[in-house]
Chain A
Amino acid sequence: MKEAATLSKEKQIKKDDRKLFRKALRKNWDCYVYIAPYGIIFLTFTVLPVLISIFFSFTYFNVLEPPQWIGLRNYQNLLVNDDVFLLAVKNTMTIAIITGPVGYLATLMFAWFINELKPVLRAIMVTIMYAPSISGGAYMIWTILFSGDSHGYINGFLLNLGVIHEPIQFLTDTSWMIWIVIIVMIWMSLGAGFLSMVAGFRTVDKSQYEAGYVEGIRNRWQEFWFITLPSMRPQMMFAAVMSITAAFSVGDQTTALVGFPSTDYAAHTIVNHLQDYGGQRFDMGYACAIATILFVVMVGLNELIQKLLSKVGR
């Protein structure tokens, strides 16, 4: 008897909820009109592709024939049979583990250092530091600087100094290539996250600093650690997302710097592997499996870092 009563009560609540929901829909119908232009395109070109990509990853699909369901075979092949993929994972990890944290720390440090300057100097420095990310293809310049022939500035410089006696083939020597990519990635690491941090430093409440001085803050390190850092958490989280995403999506840069495919696949990344199967071999199912793995790794790592950062200063 009692059970029936609670059940009917639950039903009533559910019904009320649905009524409220419908009422909210009707009352706010115009919101959906406002959001429609963005929402429809966003769903079509961002959300839907991710779902399609996950679906294709379980199929064999060569564009000409309809996709065939093959279950987990793409993933099996990737993880067990494809040595080049494992090499690509290793290279991507090497690049990401170095450029991610270094780039992130650089973002934070330089934003802080720049914040210590006077306004005009600060504006100039922000432009200089952000300049490498401004033009999408600016990293092309490094191919000339690191070039192995007589146009290579770095080789020319080192030869002149007598450090080396014959030019180093920076862009084709397998022991150098990945390091060149890493240097260029670090050079480009001050992007949108950097702007966010620079702006973040300026929004910290000045009265907090004054209170800090009264309580005995002695130098800028203490000030940074005890006052600035805790109130910068939102900007730090945004910058972290930007850094991680950039570190794992390296691909176009390796193509521009060391070619595609690079010598002995020594700088082959996951994105390069994806482009290889998606753009040249037309094994779309396999390429989508690579894309899905990349998606899971990026989103998973981002969520993890967000969780960690949300504890800063707490």
Chain B
Amino acid sequence: MEKAQRVIDERKIRTSKKVFNPGPARSTAGNVVNFVFLCIVGAFMVLPLVYTVCNAFKPLDELFLFPPTFFVRNPTLDNFQNISVLMGQSWVPFSRYIFNTLFVTIVATVLHIIAASLAAYVLEKRKFPGAKVMFKVVVLSLMFSAAVTGIPNYIIMSKLGMIDTYFALIVPYIASSIGLYLMKQFVSSSIPDALLEAARIDGASELKIFASIVMPLVKPAWLTLLLFSVQSLWGTTGNTFIFTESLKPLNYALNQIMAGGIARAGAGAAVGLLMLLPPLAVFVFSQTRILDTMASSGIKD
């Protein structure tokens, strides 16, 4: 009797130590149902992407099979070679399109992260007239889509002489509102006031505090801003702002290939994969940091 009691006690201690799966609230049946359900939904979510990957490696005869097959049987790299052949014929070299997209993405991302961190830091940690209004407007701007501002944006850009230059793609993104929003919320949750106070007492200048204390501490948020900027800039076609062929981004050129229809189905499939990979890679490699940042993303009333 005593022994049984001890076993029960021990089990209680053991279960209470578990953090992720605490005793009374979890049933095995529930876990199994949950997992099976997630797998079914996960299949729905991921199938189109698996399809993209498979198609990119399918030889032409497999692409046109009827009934269509899902998975690739004889994977080849023909489709990718096709892209480079097609692109070799175009009068703007393929590498130029790649450079355009890389240049726009990298420059806009770096400037966006710097500008958003600077603004987020003072908005959160300093009190000055206008700070609250400014942040309210930023939150408000999360609530409508870019379609609303499209026409005036074009007019403003043409007045500033930015049409048909890289600036048209880079400059507006620097002040993307979701970046500032996430950065400010992250600064608020991850940088204690006491730390900044201590640095000020030591005689550090504001710029020094920002560069050597704030910036290193908000690194997880950099990655999050990077994810969102790669998501929106890697796929940009720039077709409303850029008319010079040699300035056009990669996605524009790739869309041209896709528009070739059936004759370009193989190359088109490879293109789909190219557009998908960079943002996916960013997400996979920085998921933990991104979730750290998103934990503070809530709207506090």
Contacts and interface: CB of A to CB of B under 8 A. Distances in A.
Interface of A: 21, 24-25, 28, 30-32, 34-35, 37-39, 41-42, 44-50, 52-53, 56, 110, 113-114, 116-119, 123, 125-138, 140-142, 144-145, 150-153, 156-157, 159-160, 187, 190, 192, 195-196, 198-200, 202-203, 206, 209-210, 213, 217-220, 222-223, 232-238, 241-242, 244-246, 248-249, 251, 271, 274-275, 278-279, 284, 287-288, 291-292, 294-295, 298-299, 302-303, 306, 310
A117 B142 contact: no
Given A34-B121, A38-B118, A134 B231 contact: yes
B175 A53 contact: no
Given A125-B42, A237-B299, A245 B25 contact: no
Interface size class of B (residues with CB under 8 A): 35 or more
Contacts of B23: 213
Contact of A52 (B27, B31, B140, B152): B152
B90 interface: no
Contact of A291 (B41, B48, B137, B148): B148
A279 B154 CA distance: 11
Contacts of B231: 133-136
Given A151-B265, A195-B294, 18 more contacts: A25-B129, A32-B128, A37-B119, A41-B115, A125-B38, A132-B45, A134-B276, A135-B279, A159-B67, A187-B44, A203-B295, A209-B22, A217-B25, A233-B298, A251-B147, A278-B150, A278-B151, A292-B148
A220 B119 contact: no
A217 B172 CA distance: 50
Nearest to A142: B48
B153 to A, nearest CB: 5
Nearest to A219: B25
B52 interface: yes
B143 A129 contact: no
Contact of A35 (B119, B142, B151, B291): B119
Contact of B141 (A46, A249, A251): A46
Given A37-B115, A131-B46, A138-B49, A196 B297 contact: yes
A301 to B, nearest CB: 9
A-B residue pairs, 8 tightest by C-beta: A234-B298, A249-B145, A49-B149, A136-B235, A28-B128, A49-B152, A41-B175, A199-B295
A123 B114 CA distance: 29
Query: Which of A42, A142, A159, A213 has the largest number of chain B CB atoms within 10 A?
Result: A42
B6 interface: no
A256 to B, nearest CB: 10
Contacts of A192: 178, 228, 294, 297
6 contacts: A42-B138, A151-B68, A187-B48, A219-B27, A294-B145, A306-B301
Query: Which of B42, B111, B294 has the largest number of chain A CB atoms within 10 A?
Result: B294
Secondary structure at the B interface, as helix, strand, loop or mixed, is: helix
A48 B201 CA distance: 40
Contact of B51 (A38, A110, A141): A141
A245 B72 CA distance: 38
Interface stretch (B79-87, B241-249, B280-288): B280-288
Contacts of A34: 118-119, 121-122, 206, 210
Contacts of A251: 147
Contacts of B121: 34
A238 B297 contact: yes
A210 B24 CA distance: 10
A202 B287 CA distance: 14
A52 to B, nearest CB: 4
A128 B283 CA distance: 11
B177 A210 contact: no
Contacts of A233: 298
Contacts of A130: 283
Nearest to A224: B25
A160 B51 contact: no
Given A45-B171, A200-B295, A202-B291, A53 B22 contact: no
A42 B177 contact: yes
Given A25-B128, A31-B126, A195 B68 contact: no
A153 B68 contact: yes
A45 B297 contact: no
B144 A132 contact: no
Interface string B173-189: 01101101000000000
B103 interface: no
B198 interface: no
Contacts of A44: 156, 175
A134 B128 contact: no
Contact of B272 (A140, A200, A213): A140
B126 to A, nearest CB: 5
Nearest to A150: B66
A41 B299 contact: no
B147 to A, nearest CB: 5
Given A32-B128, A137-B251, A298 B144 contact: yes
Contacts of A156: 66-68
